[in-house]
């Protein structure tokens, strides 16, 4: 997918600039092929070690209509500072040396053995992106759901972040959400620690003797360490929106199902910002959206070509599937 501006770099873009060996960008590229969310993410270096401090504008000053010989009042905007931190995600694959030594392609076999570990890291990252809560797991980073945890108040007010959270109508317990995100350095972006490498970092630890899992004795392995330090920053809350409290059972039974098309149109009108806009939903929700579109016979849903791939889009915004979006979310309450 094309970037918007020179600062909107993905993990793959940054890895290609930083890793002369080509290993990190190769791994990111392999993961990109199956997990499109990595293709969307804009990544930015923290401005203070392992944390990132950014200023959020909370008020916009009004100008003065001036008369001839009349004065103009001085003005200033109101702001507040927000600090986001990075979490450290690591994996330590230990591969039996005989698996590699007896292979006709040692390097390829080693990478193949590592891919399940990397896939596990990718899934943890994606889950934390949506649900990470440092108040519960302080070693992780703060995700989207805790930031958008109330739907719009009875009289919607676009000066509060809950304005971008639309109630899906459910009062049940099997709920899910649909997200609309604007990836850019000015809205939503991932973080990596200042002075470090963005994305996965690989460290070869060589051949080591370790205790066998079955306690039968020592085992010679090839040890490798993967490290992925990352965080998330919502620089401007107006660039992200959520449709919460979507009743899964009602949606799939098509009985009293929420009108996804109506809700998505409303949310797309509320989410602001210039950047890489993307819809995220569980694959089962995407299926029901397609079926609802058939009934409405409209043109909101299309197929577009993005970065050489055929991608489903709603209102010309790509739709990505994520199985890490839960189908068992607790009810989101209304803001007061």
Identify the band that residue 20 occupies on the pLDDT scale cut at 50, 70 and 90: very low
Q: How far apart are CA 115 and CA 182, in angstroms?
A: 29
Q: How far apart are CA 138 and CA 200, in angstroms?
A: 21
pLDDT tens column, 273-293:
999 999 999 999 999 998 888
User: In percent, how much of the chain has pLDDT > 90?
Assistant: 57
242: pLDDT strictly greater than 70: yes
Q: What is the pLDDT of residue 301?
A: 76
pLDDT tens column, 91-121:
999 999 999 999 888 888 898 899 889 889 9
The gap from C-alpha 113 to its chain's centroid, in whole angstroms, comes to 26
293 DSSP 8-state letter: H
Helix (H) or strand (E) run with residue 29 in it: helix 23-34
Angle between helices 23-34 and 11-18 (to 10 degrees): 160
Please give the sequence-ordered ranges of beta strands (E in DSSP) within 97-250, or none if there are none.
Answer: 150-151, 165-167, 175-183, 188-192, 201-211, 218-234, 240-247
Contact 123, 34 (CB under 8 A): no
The gap from C-alpha 47 to its chain's centroid, in whole angstroms, comes to 20
Mean pLDDT of the chain: 85
6: pLDDT strictly greater than 50: no
295: pLDDT strictly greater than 70: no
28: pLDDT strictly greater than 70: no
| Residue partners of 120: CB distance under 8 A and separation at least 6 | 91
This prediction's pTM: 0.83
DSSP H stretches of helix in 93-211: 97-101, 106-131
Q: How far apart are CA 293 and CA 260, in angstroms?
A: 9
Q: What is the pLDDT of residue 32?
A: 45
Number of C-beta neighbours around residue 302 at 10 A: 12
Domain locations in the chain as residue ranges: 11-57+80-334
């Amino acid at each position: 997918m094309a970037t918007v501006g020179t600062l909107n770099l993905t993990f793959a873009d940054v890895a290609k600039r930083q890793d002369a060996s080509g290993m990190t960008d190769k791994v990111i590229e392999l993961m990109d092929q199956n997990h499109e969310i990595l293709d969307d993410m804009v990544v930015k270096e923290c401005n203070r070690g392992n944390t990132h401090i950014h200023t959020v504008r909370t008020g916009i000053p009004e100008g003065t209509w001036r008369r001839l010989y009349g004065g103009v009042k001085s003005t200033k905007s109101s702001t507040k500072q927000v600090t986001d931190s990075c979490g450290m995600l690591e994996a330590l694959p230990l591969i039996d040396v005989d698996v590699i030594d007896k292979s006709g392609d040692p390097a390829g076999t080693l990478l193949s053995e590592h891919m399940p570990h990397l896939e596990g890291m990718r899934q943890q990252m994606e889950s934390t992106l949506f649900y990470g809560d440092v108040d519960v797991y302080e070693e992780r980073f703060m995700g989207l759901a805790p930031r958008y945890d109330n739907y719009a108040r009875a009289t919607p007010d676009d000066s509060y972040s809950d304005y971008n959270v639309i109630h899906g109508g459910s009062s049940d317990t099997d709920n899910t959400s649909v997200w609309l995100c604007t990836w850019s350095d000015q809205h939503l972006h991932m973080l990596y620690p200042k002075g470090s490498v963005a994305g996965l970092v690989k460290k070869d630890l060589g051949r080591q003797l370790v205790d066998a899992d079955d306690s039968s004795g020592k085992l010679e392995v090839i040890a490798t360490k993967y490290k992925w330090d990352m965080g998330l920053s919502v620089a401007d809350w107006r660039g992200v929106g959520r449709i919460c409290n979507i009743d899964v059972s009602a949606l799939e039974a098509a009985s009293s199902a929420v009108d996804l098309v109506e809700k998505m149109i409303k949310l797309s009108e509320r989410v602001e910002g210039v950047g890489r806009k993307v819809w995220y939903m569980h694959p089962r929700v995407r299926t029901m959206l397609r079926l609802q579109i058939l009934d409405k016979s409209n043109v909101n849903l299309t197929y577009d070509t993005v970065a050489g791939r055929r991608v489903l889009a709603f209102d010309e915004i790509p739709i990505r599937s994520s199985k890490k979006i839960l189908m068992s979310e607790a009810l989101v309450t209304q803001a007061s």
